[in-house]
A and B are shown apart, each in its own frame.
Chain A
Amino acid sequence: MPDVIYVLLTLAFFALAALLVGLLDRLLDRRGER
């Protein structure tokens, strides 16, 4: 069982990291100023 927990923990971390990448990408895409 601990195996599953650690695998899930890893997956969760990378999912959040990917989410953060997407979030930052949207933040930075809002251009406008020179």
Chain B
Amino acid sequence: MSEVLPAIGQVLVLVAALALAVPFLGRYLAHLYTSPRHLRVEQVLYRGLRVDPDADQHWRTYTLSVLGFSLVSILALFGLGRLQQHLPLSLGFPALPADGAWNTAVSFVTNTNWQWYSGEVTIGHLMQMSGLTVQNFVSAAVGMAAAAAFARGLASTKRDGRVGNFWADLVRGVLRVLLPGAFVSALLLIALGAIQNLAGTSPVTTLSGGTQQMTGGPVASQEAIKVLGTNGGGFYNVNSAHPFENPTALSNLLEIFLLLVIPFAMAWAFGLIVRDRRQGIAVLSVMALLLTVSVGLLTWAEMAGPGLAPAAAGGALEGKEVRFGPAASALFGAATTGTSTGAVNSMHDSFTGPGGGVAMFNMMLGEIAPGGTGSGLYGMLMLAIVTVFLCGLMVGRTPEYLGKKIGQHEIVLVALYVLATPILVLGGAAIALTASDGLAGLQESGPHGLSEAVYAVTSAANNNGSGFGGLTSGTPFWNTLLGLLMLAGRFLPMIFVLALAGRFATQQHLPPSAGTLPTHRPLFVALLSGVALVVVGLTYVPVLALGPIVESL
């Protein structure tokens, strides 16, 4: 039982740190996304980019700006990957294959950071820093921008369909949140032992006497934004299990904190933007509730989990770093799949049956507990609207959320949002499990093979990016399939969210009365959690039954 106390202790430390940081950061974010003032450096930037940061954009313009920016980013990243051997600081690595370069470009722009390759032997420093790291910042900022636009649309009373300025949101998110946050975090990580240099590969003699090639590099800086921006693309193949990325139990906890802090703070900021703090707290509570349940389940599964191998070995330690142990691995696993990070400090492939199932279910929830930077918030709000619609009628009024009616047009957009991801995941899984190229990538057959494939498509379509391991995904088939899932899984939902934001921004605000369904009470928190679990559960239970559930029994 000596393992239980530290397991609980790390959770308590995490909760305390979040409780301190979230309201503060939330208030800062709310101000950031509503303030009309620009910093001097931002004004220079806007002039350079030739954009008007004060133009209140119609949702259509806002969305097209998001799409345009992302398109250019993907093409640029694709170019960087294909031309790597001609670029400086390539460490002598050749160009990425076309399918791999495309997959990586899409992966980093969509905040997925799915990695089909081993970073330390594939990507040179230039692409790492000017390509991937830049995207780690901006893709996170795009998600936050979309969520902010949605919150402003809900709060708007101007009835003009305008939701804010994408360029201002993007620049502020990067300059005022992610850069300073990542800088401080990187310093902390270096202090805790992560490495930061521009060295290439160097041979090291290991304890056992053999020689190993170690790649150095700007690891700490990459690591900081990887977790802060819920990106997850590690410098090293083994990601946060690598001692250069995540040296100690303390750095592990710090990384988990960084994963969770912005998504939770966005919920807090949401409450402030819609001028009702209780609404933000309610959303945050649902996120926290779902995360707590998954941490609990995952920790139980990994510490006392069922299965033949763990029983024989005295614990489910396969695929886990002994530095962290099962509890810290489970906490990281729940946090990384609950957010859209996908960084791993242990191999989810080796989780026990139920453990892998929980990680998968976390992503299937649409990553709302607490989700990616921004995307977690808007995903949760879409489910809140579904809840209001399904159950809100029971108070005898046509449904409304925060003073905006959920009519025919609104529900069309919500329905499209809700439809998009399951179609991508299940469709992707069906293709992967039928095509011979898909099956070729699976390491195992039977339920675990199914889990590998389903985990991969779920991770891609939900822009998580964590890998289950065991899947050889660096083939044209998998790279293309997962790339398409990432693209569609990122931008289709975002288009529907922004369209809904615009729709809400054309509506007049209805004042609440005693007859309105209250959406800040514990009853609603429970209801929303229940609807999320039931709606998602009903969609994925058959697949889960054939994979993780069979494995667990």
A and B touch in the complex (CB under 8 A): yes
Complex Cα gap A13–B75 (Å): 13
Q: Residue on A with the closest CB to B502?
A: A28
Complex Cα gap A25–B74 (Å): 25
A24 and B413 in contact (CB under 8 A), knowing A7-B75, A10-B78, A13-B487?
Answer: yes
In the bound complex, do residue B499 and residue A17 qualify as a contact, i.e. CB atoms below 8 Å apart?
no
Complex Cα gap A9–B480 (Å): 10
* B50 at interface, CB cutoff 8 A: no
Number of A residues whose C-beta is below 8 Å from B?
A: 21
* B389 at interface, CB cutoff 8 A: no
Complex Cα gap A14–B105 (Å): 14
* Chain B residue contacts of A33, Cβ below 8 A: 407-408
A residues 1-34 in Cβ contact with B at 8 Å: 2-3, 5-7, 9-11, 13-14, 17-18, 20-22, 24-25, 27-28, 31, 33
Flag the segment in B63-71, B238-246, B339-347 that touches A: B63-71
A24 and B99 in contact (CB under 8 A), knowing A7-B78, A18-B67, A33-B407?
Answer: no
B239 to chain A, nearest CB (A): 26
In the bound complex, do residue A14 and residue B82 qualify as a contact, i.e. CB atoms below 8 Å apart?
no
* Chain A residue contacts of B496, Cβ below 8 A: 24
In the bound complex, do residue B495 and residue A2 qualify as a contact, i.e. CB atoms below 8 Å apart?
no
In the bound complex, do residue A21 and residue B60 qualify as a contact, i.e. CB atoms below 8 Å apart?
yes
In the bound complex, do residue B412 and residue A17 qualify as a contact, i.e. CB atoms below 8 Å apart?
no
B residues 501-516 in Cβ contact with A at 8 Å: 502-503, 506
Which of B98, B106, B502 is A3 in contact with, Cβ under 8 Å? Answer: B98
Complex Cα gap A20–B64 (Å): 10
Complex Cα gap A21–B476 (Å): 30
In the bound complex, do residue B67 and residue A28 qualify as a contact, i.e. CB atoms below 8 Å apart?
no
In the bound complex, do residue A10 and residue B491 qualify as a contact, i.e. CB atoms below 8 Å apart?
no
Which of B71, B99, B407, B495 is A10 in contact with, Cβ under 8 Å? Answer: B71
B residues 484-500 in Cβ contact with A at 8 Å: 484, 487-488, 491-492, 495-496, 499
A24 and B499 in contact (CB under 8 A), knowing A3-B98, A6-B98, A17-B492?
Answer: yes
B residues 50-89 in Cβ contact with A at 8 Å: 59-60, 63-64, 67-68, 70-71, 74-75, 78, 82
Complex Cα gap A33–B67 (Å): 30
Interface core residue of A6, A9, A13, A20 (most chain B CB under 10 Å) = A6
* B409 at interface, CB cutoff 8 A: yes
In the bound complex, do residue A18 and residue B64 qualify as a contact, i.e. CB atoms below 8 Å apart?
yes
In the bound complex, do residue B98 and residue A17 qualify as a contact, i.e. CB atoms below 8 Å apart?
no
Q: Residue on B with the closest CB to A11?
A: B71
In the bound complex, do residue B63 and residue A21 qualify as a contact, i.e. CB atoms below 8 Å apart?
yes
In the bound complex, do residue B503 and residue A28 qualify as a contact, i.e. CB atoms below 8 Å apart?
yes
* Chain A residue contacts of B413, Cβ below 8 A: 24
Q: Residue on A with the closest CB to B412?
A: A27
* Chain B residue contacts of A27, Cβ below 8 A: 409, 412
In the bound complex, do residue A25 and residue B60 qualify as a contact, i.e. CB atoms below 8 Å apart?
yes
Complex Cα gap A7–B106 (Å): 11
A14 and B71 in contact (CB under 8 A), knowing A2-B98, A24-B499?
Answer: yes
B57 to chain A, nearest CB (A): 12
A16 to chain B, nearest CB (A): 10
In the bound complex, do residue A3 and residue B63 qualify as a contact, i.e. CB atoms below 8 Å apart?
no
Complex Cα gap A27–B78 (Å): 35
In the bound complex, do residue B495 and residue A17 qualify as a contact, i.e. CB atoms below 8 Å apart?
yes
In the bound complex, do residue B99 and residue A2 qualify as a contact, i.e. CB atoms below 8 Å apart?
yes
* Chain A residue contacts of B74, Cβ below 8 A: 10
* Chain A residue contacts of B488, Cβ below 8 A: 13
* B102 at interface, CB cutoff 8 A: yes
* Chain A residue contacts of B408, Cβ below 8 A: 33
A23 to chain B, nearest CB (A): 10
Complex Cα gap A13–B67 (Å): 10
In the bound complex, do residue A21 and residue B67 qualify as a contact, i.e. CB atoms below 8 Å apart?
yes
* Chain B residue contacts of A11, Cβ below 8 A: 71
In the bound complex, do residue B60 and residue A14 qualify as a contact, i.e. CB atoms below 8 Å apart?
no
In the bound complex, do residue A20 and residue B495 qualify as a contact, i.e. CB atoms below 8 Å apart?
yes
Complex Cα gap A24–B500 (Å): 10
Complex Cα gap A17–B75 (Å): 16
In the bound complex, do residue A3 and residue B495 qualify as a contact, i.e. CB atoms below 8 Å apart?
no
The interface of chain B, by Cβ under 8 A from chain A, is: 59-60, 63-64, 67-68, 70-71, 74-75, 78, 82, 98-99, 101-102, 106, 161, 407-409, 412-413, 476, 480, 484, 487-488, 491-492, 495-496, 499, 502-503, 506
19 A-B pairs with C-beta separation under 8 A: A3-B78, A7-B75, A9-B102, A10-B74, A10-B487, A11-B71, A13-B484, A13-B488, A14-B67, A17-B492, A18-B64, A18-B67, A21-B63, A21-B67, A24-B413, A24-B495, A24-B499, A28-B161, A31-B506
Q: Which 9 A-B pairs have the closest CB atoms?
A: A2-B98, A6-B102, A24-B499, A14-B71, A25-B60, A21-B63, A28-B503, A3-B98, A13-B487
The interface of chain A, by Cβ under 8 A from chain B, is: 2-3, 5-7, 9-11, 13-14, 17-18, 20-22, 24-25, 27-28, 31, 33
